[in-house]
């Protein structure tokens, strides 16, 4: 039986500042660092030790992975970094204060932008201060201008199937350090959650989620490692 560990990065500077983040690259706060380390301590305590790691191209997820791996003595693992695991792109909302955006557009509109299944936020203006099209890490990649959860799923799932699932089929213990919405995309698929119900699912920071796999089939319920 192989295992999948999903962990959302620890608290980021813009989680704390309550700003729409998406693909913008922000660091962890001190609390985020502590959450990431605690995730690694928990992996060690429960004896769930990853044998291969995947993460996004974003600092907050990469650092969370490194800190967790350090705490469980696995900094030597092979790590695959890929943009397909990036956070959902927040388009023209990137960088805005979430409360000010609510005050301006209303709670309902902001909830739709944040949690609807298939309505993307307004597109980012090309050349805006948060446009990452020229960032060298995305060379050769068409950086999206905005993504709904549905669009996020459309790039996360093919990567899941082509890159991550084969490792589970080989019996590896796979850790994926990623983001609130790229992980919601995966959990929706793995736990067979409907388009309506996924709007209510939140993934907490730094809290490892475990799935057991039998070959490439999900063999068990989604559980928080702290409860195992
Ligand atoms: O700002 C973001 O990129 C995400 C994750 O922190 O926020 P939300 O909770 O609105 O999906």
Residue 105 in any domain: the answer is no
C-beta of residue 10 within 8 angstroms of C-beta of residue 180: no
pLDDT at 42 > cutoff 90: yes
CA distance 5 to 175: 5
Range(s) of the domain holding residue 73 = 2-89+160-227
pLDDT at 68 > cutoff 90: yes
Ligand 1 centroid to Cα of residue 164, in Å, is 24
Residue 75 in any domain: the answer is yes
The residues, any chain, with a CB within 8 Å of residue 171's CB and separated by 6 or more, are 2
Residue 97 in any domain: the answer is no
| pLDDT class of 219 with cuts at 50, 70, 90 | confident
Q: How many domains are contained in the chain? A: 1
pTM greater than 0.95:
yes
- Nearest protein Cα to ligand 1, atom 6: 15
Of the chain, the percentage scoring pLDDT greater than 70 comes to 100
Query: What's the pLDDT score for residue 221?
Result: 94
- Nearest protein Cα to ligand 1, atom 7: 20
Residue 177 in any domain: the answer is yes
Query: What's the pLDDT score for residue 215?
Result: 85
Q: Tell me the best of 90, 101, 147, 198 to mutate to test the pocket of ligand 1, counting ligand atoms within 8 Å of each CB and taking the most.
A: 90
Residue 58 in any domain: the answer is yes
Residue 181 in any domain: the answer is yes
Residue 73 in any domain: the answer is yes
Q: Tell me the best of 35, 60, 181 to mutate to test the pocket of ligand 1, counting ligand atoms within 8 Å of each CB and taking the most.
A: 181
Instruction: Give me the interface pTM, i.e. the ipTM.
Output: 0.96
Identify which of 87, 94, 86, 88 has the alpha carbon closest to the alpha carbon of residue 118: 88
194 is in an annotated binding site: no
Residue 98 in any domain: the answer is no
Alpha-carbon distances of 213 from 31, 102, 168, 171, rounded to whole Å:
32, 41, 7, 9
* CATH of residue 52: 3.40.50.1240
pLDDT at 45 > cutoff 90: yes
22 is in an annotated binding site: yes
59-71 vs 30-46: helix crossing angle, rounded to 10: 40
Ligand 1 centroid to Cα of residue 87, in Å, is 8
pLDDT at 51 > cutoff 90: yes
C-beta of residue 26 within 8 angstroms of C-beta of residue 95: no
Query: In this predicted model, what pLDDT tens digit does every residue of 121-153 receive, in sequence order?
Result: 999 999 999 999 999 999 999 999 999 999 999
């Amino acid at each position: 039986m192989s295992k999948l560990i999903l962990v959302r990065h620890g608290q980021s500077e813009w989680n704390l500042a309550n700003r729409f983040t998406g693909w913008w690259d922000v660091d962890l706060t001190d609390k985020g660092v502590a959450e990431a380390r605690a995730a690694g301590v928990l992996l060690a305590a429960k004896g769930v030790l990853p044998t291969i790691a995947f993460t996004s191209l974003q600092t907050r997820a990469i650092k969370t992975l490194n800190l967790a791996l350090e705490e469980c003595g696995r900094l030597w693992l092979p790590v695959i970094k890929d943009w397909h695991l990036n956070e959902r792109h927040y388009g023209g909302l990137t960088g805005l204060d979430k409360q000010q955006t609510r005050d301006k557009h209303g709670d309902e509109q902001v909830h739709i932008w944040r949690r609807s299944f298939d309505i993307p936020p307004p597109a980012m203006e090309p050349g805006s201060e948060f446009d990452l099209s020229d960032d060298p890490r995305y060379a050769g990649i068409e950086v999206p201008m905005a993504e709904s959860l549905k669009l996020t799923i459309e790039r996360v799932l093919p990567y899941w199937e082509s890159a991550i699932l084969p490792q589970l089929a080989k019996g590896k213990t796979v850790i994926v350090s990623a983001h609130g919405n790229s992980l919601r995309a995966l959990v929706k698929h793995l736990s067979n959650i409907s388009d309506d119900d996924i709007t209510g699912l939140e993934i907490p920071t730094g809290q490892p989620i475990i799935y057991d796999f039998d070959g490439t089939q999900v063999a068990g319920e989604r559980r928080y490692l702290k409860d195992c």
